[in-house]
Amino acid sequence: MSGKTDLRVLRTRQSIRMAFYELIKEKGYEAITIQDIADRAMINRNTFYLHHQNKPDLLDTCTDELLSELKNVIVLCPFNMSPFQISTLETVMQTVLEHISQNTTFYYAMLIEENRIYQFRTKMENIIKDKLNEGWDLAQGSPPFAVSEELLLEYLVSSFMGIVMWWIKNDLPLPTGEVASQFSRIVAYGHLKAAGIAVGE
């Protein structure tokens, strides 16, 4: 009996979250009411409060769980800056995009919508930055970089997030592997060389 109860609880939580994601995309976080969520999830308000204290609690739960999942999948990706290998950055990017493709509605609402949640992007950027920093740590003892390490890291993270947001905003126009491959080549060779554009002095 407890198994059936647990399954019902999980289904209710999932219904609440999916309703929340859809409503954020439709009308923005601030405009959503608990009644909106309950109606969309086809539950009553009392049932909602059995699972979440209020709307901010639901947002925090969804954000923390999704970003925890993201962190768990990319922590398995090897990454080293010395020597830099295109395939390792490609793997990180593809892993992130595949995770997003399974949760597109929420990521769209969090990153793209006019009423997006800005702290979500900051938390996501920090996860990406920590992963790239991992490569820096492994490269300790190598010759110093020719540019500021901090500036390079910010450039990579901003570029990474820019590609992710472009991909989500445009309804996933390219396969994850194609986006990851092109992004990694741009990082490795520079955008003009990667595009096949001749460069003169």
| In a domain? residue 72 | yes
pTM over 0.85: no
Same domain for 67 and 92, yes or no, is yes
- The conformation of residue 117, written as its DSSP 8-state character, comes to -
Give the whole-angstrom CA distance, residue 124 versus residue 111: 10
* Domain of 62, in residue numbers: 56-194
- The conformation of residue 175, written as its DSSP 8-state character, comes to -
Across the 201 residues of the chain, what is the mean pLDDT of every consecutive 10-residue run? Answer: 71 93 85 96 95 94 92 84 78 94 88 76 92 69 75 91 95 95 90 75 58
Same domain for 83 and 41, yes or no, is no
| In a domain? residue 121 | yes
Q: What is the pLDDT of residue 143?
A: 67
Centroid of chain to Cα 79: 18
Q: What is the pLDDT of residue 1?
A: 46
Q: What is the pLDDT of residue 149?
A: 81
Same domain for 62 and 28, yes or no, is no
